[in-house]
Amino acid sequence: MATFEVENLSLHYLTRFGQKIHAVTDVSFTMEKGEILGIAGESGCGKSTLVNGLMGLFIPPLHLTSGDVRVAGESLMNRDPKDIRENVLSQKVSMIPQGAFNALNPTRKVKDIAFDVIHAHDHGEHTKKEIYERLEDRFDLFGMDTQRVLNSYPIELTAGERQRSVIGISTLLNPQMVIADEPTSALDVTTQKIVIRMIFDLLEKGIFNTMIFITHELPLLRHVADRIAIMYAGEFVEVGTTDQIVFDPRHPYTQALMGSVLSTNPEQKNKKPFTIEGAPPSLTQAIPGCRFAERCPKVRPECKVNIQSMRMVGDRQVRCDYAE
């Protein structure tokens, strides 16, 4: 059985003015144990919204429209956020939310924030001392000055130390699966590398084994992911192996994304930088036809009328009738 199954998941925000924003539409995929799936797409395409939906965390204004998410066969939909926090988060699936390193409680030391995560699931089996020892052993794996980091308030740490602490805390209970939302954005390049190395070190040590890695930087995924899903205006438009997406993209949006990546390659710097003209469509109403049609260099008249569904092209999925 697949570890993680997502079936036709659609999510919307309901604003105070009664307006619906259809932020995620018809996302389906499955993941097997040990797999690393990258999800990439431009800002506002629905990546962070999807993460909350994948965890079953529906906190207004976010709502489930339809669909299902199952972890080892168990559905996460239509459950109380409290139930999700107590029985799913940190243990089965752990989330590293976007910007989390800036959201650590500033009034508490790292060791106390981490202590609470273990304590909440420990049912009084271990003493305080035993829990702190376990914390120290775990933090020793992260390549930082364990004592200093654990005894600091978040503000006393560098951004990289804070992010490594967040990842460390999120994985304390050895969740099978981690969903990391832009875990390296807002970090400088050197720190990004350190954080990526830490994540892969934890994977190698078996602290977790399955991961969704979300980023707006496609090049990062090339070295990280087994498969990549490309997201546009709330939909997955292409899902394939990393090689398929990077070297042989089929959806015109993936092709455009790869083109803009190549143009930043120094070897191609004499070429004109590639940008995708225009903006994604508004998500407040139903969109007739293909969502990328307005910006697509290969658009045909039918594209603006016919809704595009995900379909198999070889062994990958593409949401374009003309992907061949």
Ligand X SMILES: Nc1ncnc2c1ncn2[C@@H]1O[C@H](COP(=O)(O)OP(=O)(O)OP(=O)(O)O)[C@@H](O)[C@H]1O
Binding site for ligand X (CB under 6 A): 13, 15, 21, 23, 41, 43-49, 61, 98, 216, 283
Cβ proximity to ligand X: between 59 and 155 the closer is 59
From the list 160, 168, 194, the residue with the least C-alpha distance to 111 is: 168
Q: How far is the CB of 61 from ligand X (least distance, A)?
A: 5
Three-class secondary structure of residue 136 per DSSP: helix
CA distances, 16 to each of 21, 61, 62 (Å): 11, 8, 12
Q: How far is the CB of 46 from ligand X (least distance, A)?
A: 4
Distance CA 12, CA 20 (A): 6
Q: How many residues bind Mg ion (CB under 5 A)?
A: 3
Contact 154, 110 (CB under 8 A): yes
Q: Please give the helix or strand (H or E) that residue 6 lies within, else none.
A: strand 4-14
Cβ proximity to Mg ion: between 252 and 280 the closer is 280
Q: Give Rg (Cα) of the chain.
A: 21
Task: Choose the binding region for Mg ion from 21-29, 83-91, 98-106, 226-234 (rule: CB under 5 A).
Answer: 98-106
Q: Looking only at Cα atoms, what is the longest distance across the chain?
A: 69
Cβ proximity to ligand X: between 17 and 324 the closer is 17
CA distances, 197 to each of 41, 168, 172 (Å): 23, 13, 17
Q: How far is the CB of 205 from ligand X (least distance, A)?
A: 29
Contact track, Mg ion, 29-48, x by CB under 5 A:
------------------xx
Cβ proximity to ligand X: between 34 and 61 the closer is 61
Q: How far is the CB of 69 from ligand X (least distance, A)?
A: 16
Q: How far is the CB of 197 from ligand X (least distance, A)?
A: 23
Q: Which does 104 bind (CB under 5 to 8 A by kind): Mg ion, ligand X, none?
A: none
Distance CA 196, CA 34 (A): 17
Q: How far is the CB of 247 from ligand X (least distance, A)?
A: 24
98 counts as binding Mg ion under rule CB under 5 A = yes
Kind of pairing, strands 62-71 and 74-75?
Answer: antiparallel
Question: Cis ω on the peptide bond leading into residue 61 (within 30° of 0)?
Answer: yes
Cβ proximity to ligand X: between 53 and 240 the closer is 53
Distance CA 75, CA 271 (A): 49
Q: Which does 46 bind (CB under 5 to 8 A by kind): Mg ion, ligand X, none?
A: ligand X
Binding site for Mg ion (CB under 5 A): 47-48, 98
